[in-house]
């Protein structure tokens, strides 16, 4: 969960990536646009500002020039008047009249002061506040009609007009000066001409002063002026108390450079139009951003959604589902989709091939073991099926058959079996071939399973025709039914296998799995690992079961039975541990221990006065042991025992498995005088011919025939047959499993020589047996009484 | 005081001229601008350094000139001549030969006067007692400009169109000065010294300053004919 989470945070979805990329590019473009537009607009605005200021300067200059021109023209007209000219040029004769006339003119043209000079510039008549004594020093060139001069710390624009004798006279005879106060020049009319604040800055002997047409603070203006003078740019930018001002200056006074025109505008009003532009631009860019975002979303969707649907498609392919080609709008995606579709087709084909290889048996075309397991898994996954049985079927002795008829015929036989089974079983059950001669059936119901199995066994038992042979087959069946413990396919299979194994080992054609079978097996492993030590660590002991001579009514022989008492497991059944010992090879050790013990016991009892025949079991492995005979010979010699008192028992199946070898080994034993017995007689397939050749002295009739002998006439007939057979071969007969008196009486009447069983005595340890023999007379007596 | 001095000088000149008139040598004067071009209509005043050798027969001596009133005519709405050269104390009459009225005036310190001249009327003579330049204007016609130059030199004249001015002068030391409205002050104030011997010579007076531009534009005001 953690890794999935982290991977999802680390790897952005394609859609998000595309979206982000498109959006970033779009926004970058917008920002670039905004930047270039705004910088261009700013530059443009600045240029516009410069241009406007230049225009405003020109306007102010031309306004001042107009003022000057008006006064000059009027003054020229004035001096052209002969009478005025007479007054001027004859000033010494009537200065008062001239002064009054000039005052009149001065008032008419809004000039404050005036003066008349002679041809050299010396003032002859002047208004009261006109403080200059001479204008001689003023070097007026032809183009200058006016000059800014300071009088009594006030600046005046002085318009100087030459007074000539005749208009064409070369040199003036006098000069007239009209002085207009700076504040009258920079009046509200001038302010109205410009969109900027129009100001005049003047330099005085004691510093600068400023005059504003619009009432701007003088100190602020001087600060702006100083800032402006400090730089070379045309437009100065000055910050005063959080406000930024743009300004430009131009000298009004080209002679003394003491008067300047200064235009000022607050930045806010200078860029008023650009602000509106920016507001509109921002709105436009925001709209564009939204559009870019939507477009990016649209594009990324268009690209990623076919990819997502292809991804879903691959998931479907992975799950083995059938797919259709999605038709998208992009050629590349379509190509990919087609490729995936083709891939899916090829995958399906290959899957089928693999499935065939993996899940089908190529000989019988039945499902194989893998298919079975898969089917089981599915059935277990299906919660609706509560009943489930797995039946394993093994064709008995198939290996032998294989050898007998050849592999090809055997394969043919297997095919026939498969065919017959599938026809017989129909589609209601699942039939599979597990291994060589093993088949499996899954049945989804557990009812009447024994009948079902019996039916199958019968079906197999009917003859098959192979190479002109008619073969009837025996099937061993192990099965398991799903229950609370067996709740998955593995356990069910294991259980059925255990049951089959039990069936193969036992006499019953079919075995149902019981939990005991399973426990048995786990115990086995433990026992096998410990079995080699039992002869040394005292866990193995010898028990003895008396055999009653039915003719003499005396106990003249005992069977020695090995008992393994495990410290934790307790009593280990001899069938189990003998089998295990045969597998591990420890059987030889155990047999030798048993025989040595038996001989020692025989010796003890002989000294006590009981001369009993000792019967001990040997296995096929012992028979194959070449030193076995000499071992016995040595023991017999050691304990000076009569060899005829030692009876070695061999099971019927052991004896008949490899009769030739068995006969040879038995002969060797027989040659040293040891008696031999065929144990469990009646369960195997004894060949009378072989039996006849064997140097045996005794037949032990299996307890399967004896246990219910008193009730079962069939058993009685069988036992009778066995006994008469033995008689003809001059063999002793020992009936095992005698558990009631009636059976004992019947056996006696049949002519059976010996009886063995709980009715006579349980197997007992050596001490109990000794005690039992000590009171044998009594026991025998009791038996007698019961006999009669 | 001035009058007394001049009177004595005139008397002396009169005597001398009687004595030496036959010995007067023809001399020529040219006025050259700073580029060496001859200038016409330039007033040239010549005075003897010492009274006894100041003799001239052609042009007339100043006192001879002064005896007769000079004429400054208003013709074609112009002053004619443009520059009237007179001897100090000479009288000038202002005949108006135009069919329009003229109002001639002068505010020059040398002579202030005004004359209202009806058409085709000649004024009474006006005497110019002071030496100097009298600038004349017409209050009716702004473009009209004329000069009366009252000289107290021994003899004077104006360079002709060829730029030459001839004098018959007795040998001796003379000072020469020039005047014209277009000449620079410095050249006007300059005094040139000449020694006249028995031979005829062409005396060159070279100006050091450029002359002022011509006022010719004024002279050709086309509209004037309409008055």
The tens digit of pLDDT for each residue in A222-252 reads 888 888 888 888 888 888 888 888 888 888 8
Lowest-confidence range among A517-521, A621-625, A752-756? A517-521
From the list A80, A89, A170, the residue facing B107 with the nearest CB is A89
Confidence band of B142 (pLDDT split at 50, 70, 90): confident
Query: How close, in Å, is residue A246 to chain B by CA atoms?
Result: 49
From the list B103, B107, B218, the residue facing A173 with the nearest CB is B107
Report the mean per-residue pLDDT for chain A. Answer: 84
Q: How many CB atoms lie within 10 A of CB B68?
A: 11
Q: What percent of chain A has pLDDT over 90?
A: 20
Q: Which three-class secondary structure state does DSSP give residue A509?
A: coil
For residue A89, the chain B residue with the least C-alpha distance is B107
Chain A hits for B137, Cβ within 8 Å: 165-169
Q: List, for residues B202-224, the tens digit of each pLDDT value.
A: 899 999 988 888 765 544 443 33
Q: Is the pLDDT of residue A782 over 70?
A: no
Q: Is the pLDDT of residue A110 over 70?
A: yes
**What secondary structure letter does DSSP report for B176?**
E
From the list A80, A170, A173, the residue facing B181 with the nearest CB is A170
| Predicted pLDDT of residue A717 | 92
Give the tokens for residue A781. 């007596």
Q: Testing the interface with A: which of B104, B135, B146 to mutate, by most A Cβ within 10 A? A: B135
Chain-chain contact of B107 with A90 (C-beta, under 8 angstroms): yes
Chain-chain contact of B108 with A170 (C-beta, under 8 angstroms): no
| Predicted pLDDT of residue B60 | 62
For residue B180, the chain A residue with the least C-alpha distance is A170
Chain-chain contact of A90 with B145 (C-beta, under 8 angstroms): no
Contacts 24+ apart (CB under 8 A), A745-749: A745/A787, A746/A709, A746/A710, A746/A716, A746/A719, A747/A550, A747/A706, A747/A709, A747/A719, A748/A550, A748/A787
Q: List, for residues A85-103, the tens digit of each pLDDT value.
A: 888 888 888 888 889 989 9
For residue B103, the chain A residue with the least C-alpha distance is A82
Cβ-based neighbours of B9, under 8 Å, separated by 6 or more: B51, B154
Q: Testing the interface with B: which of A116, A168, A171, A174 to mutate, by most B Cβ within 10 A? A: A168
Query: How close, in Å, is residue B93 to chain A by CA atoms?
Result: 20
Chain B hits for A90, Cβ within 8 Å: 107, 112
Pairwise pLDDT comparison (A59 vs A307), residue with the higher score? A59
For residue B216, the chain A residue with the least C-alpha distance is A168
Chain-chain contact of A80 with B218 (C-beta, under 8 angstroms): no
Pairwise pLDDT comparison (A518 vs A721), residue with the higher score? A721
| Predicted pLDDT of residue B150 | 93
Query: How close, in Å, is residue A74 to chain B by CA atoms?
Result: 17
Count Cβ neighbours within 10 Å for each residue of A693-726 and write b for 16 or more, e otherwise. Answer: ebebbbbbbbbebbbbbbeeeebbebbbebbebb
Chain-chain contact of B143 with A167 (C-beta, under 8 angstroms): yes
From the list B112, B135, B138, the residue facing A169 with the nearest CB is B135
Cα–Cα distance between B77 and A168 in angstroms, integer? 14
| Predicted pLDDT of residue A673 | 92
| Predicted pLDDT of residue B105 | 92
Burial of residue B132 (number of CB atoms within 10 Å: 0-12, 13-18, 19+) = middle
Q: Is the pLDDT of residue A182 over 60?
A: yes
From the list A82, A169, A173, the residue facing B139 with the nearest CB is A82
Whether the ω angle into residue B81 lies within 30 degrees of 0, i.e. cis, is yes
Query: How close, in Å, is residue B156 to chain A by CA atoms?
Result: 24
Between helices A331-359 and A272-319, what is the axis angle to 10°? 20
Q: Are strands A613-617 and A554-566 parallel, antiparallel or unpaired?
A: parallel
Q: List, for residues A758-772, the tens digit of each pLDDT value.
A: 998 899 999 999 888
Confidence band of A143 (pLDDT split at 50, 70, 90): low
| Predicted pLDDT of residue B53 | 57
Q: Which three-class secondary structure state does DSSP give residue B26?
A: strand
Q: What ipTM score was computed for the predicted complex, to two decimals?
A: 0.74
Q: Is the pLDDT of residue A25 over 60?
A: yes
Chain-chain contact of B218 with A173 (C-beta, under 8 angstroms): no
Q: Which residues of A touch B (CB under 8 A)?
A: 80, 82, 85-86, 89-90, 165-170, 173
Q: Are strands A732-736 and A754-756 parallel, antiparallel or unpaired?
A: parallel
Chain B hits for A89, Cβ within 8 Å: 107
Whether the ω angle into residue A113 lies within 30 degrees of 0, i.e. cis, is no
Q: Is the pLDDT of residue B227 over 50?
A: no
Q: Is the pLDDT of residue B148 over 90?
A: yes
From the list A85, A86, A165, the residue facing B108 with the nearest CB is A165
| Predicted pLDDT of residue A595 | 94
Q: How many CB atoms lie within 10 A of CB B199?
A: 9
Query: How close, in Å, is residue A114 to chain B by CA atoms?
Result: 23
Confidence band of A332 (pLDDT split at 50, 70, 90): confident
From the list B135, B212, B215, the residue facing A165 with the nearest CB is B135
| CA B160 to centroid of chain Cα atoms | 12
Q: What are phi and psi of A444, to 5 degrees?
A: -90, 20
From the list B103, B107, B143, the residue facing A165 with the nearest CB is B107
| Predicted pLDDT of residue A171 | 82
Q: Is the pLDDT of residue A517 over 80?
A: no
Chain-chain contact of A170 with B103 (C-beta, under 8 angstroms): no
Q: Is the pLDDT of residue A543 over 60?
A: yes
Give the tokens for residue A35. 């930047």
Query: How close, in Å, is residue A146 to chain B by CA atoms?
Result: 25
Cα–Cα distance between A758 and B150 in angstroms, integer? 198
Q: List, for residues A376-397, the tens digit of each pLDDT value.
A: 888 888 777 778 899 999 988 8
Chain-chain contact of A165 with B137 (C-beta, under 8 angstroms): yes
Q: Is the pLDDT of residue B65 over 50?
A: yes
| CA A211 to centroid of chain Cα atoms | 84
Query: How close, in Å, is residue B97 to chain A by CA atoms?
Result: 21
Lowest-confidence range among A118-132, A659-673, B9-23, B135-149? B9-23
Q: List, for residues A297-325, the tens digit of each pLDDT value.
A: 888 787 777 777 777 878 877 776 777 77
What average pLDDT does this structure show over A137-145?
65
Give the tokens for residue A285. 């860019």
For residue A166, the chain B residue with the least C-alpha distance is B137
| Predicted pLDDT of residue A30 | 81
pTM, 2 dp: 0.48
Q: Is the pLDDT of residue A520 over 70?
A: no
Q: Is the pLDDT of residue A617 over 90?
A: yes
| Predicted pLDDT of residue B21 | 46
Chain-chain contact of B218 with A165 (C-beta, under 8 angstroms): no
Q: What percent of chain A has pLDDT over 70?
A: 94
Side-chain half-sphere of B115: how many Cα atoms within 13 Å?
A: 23
């Amino acid at each position: 969960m953690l890794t999935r989470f982290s991977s999802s945070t680390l790897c952005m979805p394609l859609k998000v990536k595309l979206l982000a990329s498109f959006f970033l590019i779009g926004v970058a473009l917008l920002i670039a646009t905004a930047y270039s537009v705004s910088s261009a607009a700013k530059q443009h605005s600045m240029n516009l500002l410069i241009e406007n200021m230049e225009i405003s300067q020109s306007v102010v200059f031309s306004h001042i020039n107009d003022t000057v021109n008006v006064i000059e023209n009027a003054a020229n007209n004035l001096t052209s008047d002969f009478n005025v000219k007479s007054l001027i040029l004859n000033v010494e004769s009537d200065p008062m009249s001239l002064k009054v006339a000039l005052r009149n003119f001065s008032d008419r043209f809004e000039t404050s002061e005036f003066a008349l000079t002679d041809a050299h510039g010396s003032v002859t008549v002047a208004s009261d506040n006109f403080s200059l004594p001479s204008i001689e020093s003023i070097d007026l060139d032809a183009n200058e009609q006016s000059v800014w001069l300071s009088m009594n710390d006030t600046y005046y624009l002085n318009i100087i007009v030459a007074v000539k004798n005749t208009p064409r006279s070369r040199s003036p005879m006098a000069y007239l000066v009209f002085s207009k106060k700076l504040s009258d020049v920079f009046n509200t009319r001038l302010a109205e001409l410009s969109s900027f604040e129009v100001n005049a800055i003047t330099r005085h002997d004691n510093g600068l002063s400023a005059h504003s047409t619009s009432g701007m603070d003088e100190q602020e203006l001087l600060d702006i002026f100083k800032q402006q003078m400090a730089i070379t740019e045309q437009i100065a930018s000055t910050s005063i108390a959080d406000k930024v001002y743009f300004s430009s200056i131009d000298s009004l006074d080209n002679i003394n450079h003491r008067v300047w025109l200064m235009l000022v505008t607050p930045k806010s009003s200078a860029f008023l139009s650009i602000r509106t532009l920016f507001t509109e631009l921002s709105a436009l860019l925001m709209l564009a951003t939204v559009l870019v975002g939507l477009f990016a979303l649209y594009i990324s969707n268009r690209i990623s959604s076919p990819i997502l649907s292809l991804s879903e498609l691959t998931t479907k392919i992975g799950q083995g589902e059938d797919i259709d080609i999605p038709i998208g709008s992009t050629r590349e995606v379509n190509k990919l989709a087609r490729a995936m579709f083709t891939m899916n087709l090829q995958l399906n084909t290959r899957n089928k091939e693999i499935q065939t290889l993996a899940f089908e048996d190529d000989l019988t075309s039945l499902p194989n073991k893998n298919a079975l397991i898969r089917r089981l898994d599915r059935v277990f996954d299906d919660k609706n099926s509560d009943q489930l049985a797995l039946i394993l079927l093994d064709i008995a002795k198939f290996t032998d058959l294989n050898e007998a008829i050849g592999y090809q015929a055997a394969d043919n036989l297997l095919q026939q079996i498969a065919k017959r089974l599938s026809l017989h079983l129909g589609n209601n059950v699942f039939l599979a071939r597990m291994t060589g001669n093993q088949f499996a059936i899954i049945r989804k119901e557990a009812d009447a399973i024994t009948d079902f199995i019996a039916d199958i066994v019968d079906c197999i038992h009917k003859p098959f025709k192979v190479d002109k042979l008619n073969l009837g087959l025996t099937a061993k069946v192990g099965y398991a039914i799903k229950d609370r413990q067996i709740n998955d396919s593995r356990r069910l299979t294991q259980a059925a296998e255990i049951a089959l194994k039990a069936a193969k080992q036992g006499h019953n054609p079919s075995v149902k799995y019981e939990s005991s079978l399973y426990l048995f097996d786990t115990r086995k492993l433990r026992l096998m690992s410990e079995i080699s030590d039992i002869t040394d660590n005292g866990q193995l002991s010898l028990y003895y079961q008396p055999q009653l001579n039915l003719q003499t009514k005396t106990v003249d022989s005992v069977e020695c039975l090995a008992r393994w008492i495990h410290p934790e497991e307790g009593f280990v059944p001899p069938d189990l541990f003998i089998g295990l010992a045969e597998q591990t090879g420890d059987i030889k050790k155990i047999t030798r221990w048993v025989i040595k013990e038996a001989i020692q016991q025989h010796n003890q009892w002989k000294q006590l006065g009981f001369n009993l025949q000792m019967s001990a079991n040997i296995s096929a492995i012992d028979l194959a042991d070449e030193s076995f005979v000499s071992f016995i010979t040595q023991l017999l010699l050691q304990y000076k025992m009569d060899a005829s008192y030692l009876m070695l028992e061999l099971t019927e199946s052991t004896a008949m498995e490899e009769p030739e070898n068995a006969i040879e080994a038995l002969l060797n034993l027989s040659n040293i005088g040891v008696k031999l017995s065929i144990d469990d007689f009646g369960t195997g397939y004894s060949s009378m011919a072989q039996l006849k050749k064997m140097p045996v002295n005794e037949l032990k009739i299996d307890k399967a025939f004896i246990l219910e002998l008193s009730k079962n006439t069939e058993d009685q007939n069988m036992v009778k047959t066995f006994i008469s057979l033995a008689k003809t071969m001059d063999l002793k007969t020992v009936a095992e499993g005698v558990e009631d008196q009636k059976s004992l009486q019947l056996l006696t009447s049949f002519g059976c020589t010996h009886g063995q069983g709980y009715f006579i005595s349980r197997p007992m340890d050596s001490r109990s047996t000794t005690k039992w023999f000590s009171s044998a007379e009594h026991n025998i007596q009791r038996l007698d009484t019961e006999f009669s | 005081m001035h009058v007394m001095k001049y009177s004595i000088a005139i008397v002396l000149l009169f005597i001398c001229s009687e004595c030496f008139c036959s010995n007067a040598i023809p001399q020529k004067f040219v006025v050259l601008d700073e580029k060496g071009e001859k200038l016409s209509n330039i007033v040239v005043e010549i005075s003897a350094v010492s009274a006894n050798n100041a003799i001239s027969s052609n042009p007339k001596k100043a006192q001879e000139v002064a005896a007769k009133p000079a004429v400054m005519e208003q013709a074609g709405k112009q002053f004619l001549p443009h520059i009237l050269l007179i001897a100090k104390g000479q009288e000038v009459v202002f005949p108006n030969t135009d069919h329009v009225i003229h109002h001639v005036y002068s505010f020059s310190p040398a002579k202030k006067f005004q004359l209202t001249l009806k058409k085709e009327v000649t004024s009474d003579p006006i005497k110019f007692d002071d030496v100097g330049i009298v600038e004349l204007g017409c209050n009716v016609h702004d473009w009209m400009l004329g000069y009366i130059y009252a000289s107290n030199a021994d003899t004077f004249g104006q360079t002709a169109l060829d730029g030459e001015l001839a004098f018959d002068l007795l040998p001796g030391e003379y000072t020469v000065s020039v005047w014209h409205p277009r000449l620079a002050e410095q050249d006007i104030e300059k005094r040139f010294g000449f020694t006249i011997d028995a031979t005829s010579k062409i005396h060159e007076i070279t100006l050091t300053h450029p002359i002022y531009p011509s006022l010719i534009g004024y002279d050709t005001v086309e509209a004037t004919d309409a008055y």
